Amino acid sequence: MNIENGGISMLLNFTVSNYKSFKESNTLSMVPAPKQKGLDYSICKEKIGKTSYKALCSTVMYGPNASGKTNIIGAMDTFRAIVLRGNIRNSEEQASPNAAAYSLELIPNKDISAPVTMAIEFIDNGVKYKYEITLDIGLFLERDKKRKILSETFYVNNAMVFQRGETIKIGNLSQISSYLIEVDISKNRSFADISEKSLLADELFLTGAFKLLFAPKLVQQFTDWISEKFMVIYHANEVQFINRFADPKEKTIYIDTTTQQAAKLFGINSNGIGYFSGDDGTMKLCSVIDNLNIAKGKGVVIQSDIYESYGTLRFVNIFPLIIRALDTGSTLVIDEFDASIHPIALMNIINIFHNDEVNTRHAQLIFNTHNPIFLNSNMFRRDEIKFVERDDTTHESSIYALSDFGTSGKNAVRKGDDYMKNYFVDQYGAINNIDFTDVIKDVLGVNGESSDEKTN
């Protein structure tokens, strides 16, 4: 089978278990739910062989603070780091604000000793990949644990390519014959034997022996998607944005014209926004200010974080990633996407992802939020609205979609319903009733006891 036939990219599913608050297996699915009518904008479609696949172009996640919304994004970021690193050893490079991505002892759920499982399923350029790893990394905070990869499974176009457990099982490689270094299928077992003898317990077979001995080009395409098109932004800041997903210039100031135009529409205090590459190689956002008397008519450059509003900084940092995602057909996952950015600007960005005439490469946007404005049946499909809820007793998180409620029965959800109103009356769960009145009254001594008396 020749699977090098071009096509679009799209994330289908990401699954995780025993990652922080996610004890049981939970899946963030981008696959459209059945029988969803209306809002068929920018549904990603791809046909591989005789099978047709679809994926949503966006997902918005709701839930109270500490429900686990950030944890699911953190799990994606950690999975990405492990694959690109090729092992489950701690990294000395702290390139992400997600500590669990480089200190893996922070991953496990605090209450159990069980393996951590992560899996991803996506399509890229006419190839459907599914990759799953199960890891024994010990207990929470057990840094000195001798870690082990318990299992590792790789599928291409639904055919098992290899399965790693106590031994390595090689599948029918005729499915990927055009990628193989050695096409002679009879030698697969000897290659597997070599791999088993040389493979370390904490190293991935996919990016190690399988890439070296079997299919380097196939694995490179897989890791290229993880590196370049799986854009996971966890508690992002400007350095992370620029270093991970931009092309830095050497020791110079440069201004991206598109970002400049968008920033002026958004509203900036300066005459322009640019980036400065310093001696340490990091890219720093700067504001260009012209015609100041103190500069004797010459323009000056000042760090943007001491001149622009936080909302402006957030927008300017995010916008190049949006352009990159739309231009390359990537999956952009952003934690706190809406922080300090006006809802009208956010709604416009979302509408662009939903616009088939603009989002021609079918890029995907996944983000979490507390802003109820997106709970709108005219903006999001029911299967695009996800909730993350954390059980008050077990403290375990779960993720589900608005479409999971169905369209009939007591808890039915229909397209014309007022999603925002129903969410705030706790019809969908994933919301906490919070009342600070008693705490504040107690501190202020409103209940008859002053704060000074309470302190004494």
- The closest of 277, 230, 223 to 30, measured between CA atoms, is 230
> Distance from CA of residue 73 to its chain's centroid?
5
Listed range (42-56, 175-189, 204-218, 318-332) with the worst mean pLDDT: 175-189
pLDDT given at position 113: 86
Does position 105 have pLDDT exceeding 80, yes or no? yes
Does position 273 have pLDDT exceeding 80, yes or no? no
Rounded Cα–Cα distance for residues 368 and 45 (Å)? 24
For residue 275, how many other CB atoms are within 10 A of its CB? 23
pLDDT band of 316, cuts 50, 70, 90: confident
pLDDT digits (tens, 9 = 90+) for 140-174: 999 889 999 999 999 999 999 999 998 899 898 88
pLDDT digits (tens, 9 = 90+) for 68-83: 899 999 999 999 999 9
53 near 127, Cβ under 8 Å?
no
- The closest of 259, 244, 264 to 330, measured between CA atoms, is 244
Does position 238 have pLDDT exceeding 50, yes or no? no
Listed range (173-187, 324-338, 355-369) with the worst mean pLDDT: 173-187
- Burial annotation 282-291 (CB, 10 A radius, 16+ → b, else e): ebbbbbbbee
Does position 195 have pLDDT exceeding 90, yes or no? no
pLDDT band of 4, cuts 50, 70, 90: very low
The tokens describing 262, both together, are 């968008």
pLDDT given at position 119: 98
- Arithmetic mean of pLDDT, 209-218: 91
- Cα-Cα-Cα-Cα torsion 87, 246, 313, 62, nearest 10 degrees, comes to -50
Does position 42 have pLDDT exceeding 80, yes or no? no
List of E strands, 146-280: 148-156, 159-164, 168-170, 230-233, 253-254, 272-277
pLDDT given at position 132: 98
pLDDT given at position 239: 40
- The closest of 123, 112, 109, 100 to 53, measured between CA atoms, is 123
- Arithmetic mean of pLDDT, 172-188: 72
- Arithmetic mean of pLDDT, 271-280: 67
DSSP string spanning 391-455? Answer: -TTT--EEEEEGGGG-SSSTT---TTS-HHHHHHTTSS--------HHHHHHHHTTTSS-HHHHH
Going from the C-alpha of 190 to that of each of 168, 174, 279, the distances in angstroms are 11, 17, 50
Looking at residue 44, its amino acid is C
107 near 71, Cβ under 8 Å?
no
- Arithmetic mean of pLDDT, 328-342: 86
Rounded Cα–Cα distance for residues 196 and 374 (Å)? 50
pLDDT given at position 21: 94
pLDDT given at position 387: 92
Does position 329 have pLDDT exceeding 50, yes or no? yes
Rounded Cα–Cα distance for residues 110 and 104 (Å)? 13
Listed range (88-92, 207-211, 374-378) with the worst mean pLDDT: 374-378
Listed range (85-99, 156-170, 335-349) with the worst mean pLDDT: 335-349
pLDDT given at position 354: 92
Name the β-bridge partners of 273. 287
- Arithmetic mean of pLDDT, 348-362: 90
Q: When comparing pLDDT for 416 and 51, which is higher?
A: 51
Q: Kindly report the backbone phi and psi dihedral angles of residue 58, in degrees, each rounded to the nearest multiple of 5, phi listed first.
A: -155, 160
7 near 51, Cβ under 8 Å?
no
Listed range (34-48, 209-223, 235-249, 369-383) with the worst mean pLDDT: 235-249
The tokens describing 434, both together, are 């919070």
Q: When comparing pLDDT for 446 and 325, which is higher?
A: 325
pLDDT given at position 280: 62
pLDDT given at position 337: 83
30 near 12, Cβ under 8 Å?
yes
pLDDT given at position 295: 44
pLDDT band of 59, cuts 50, 70, 90: very high
- Arithmetic mean of pLDDT, 326-353: 87
pLDDT digits (tens, 9 = 90+) for 116-127: 999 999 999 999
pLDDT given at position 268: 65
Consecutive H or E run containing 453: helix 451-455
Does position 275 have pLDDT exceeding 60, yes or no? yes
Does position 449 have pLDDT exceeding 90, yes or no? no
DSSP string spanning 20-57? Answer: TTB-S-EEEE-SPPTT--S--TT-EEEEETTEEEEE-S
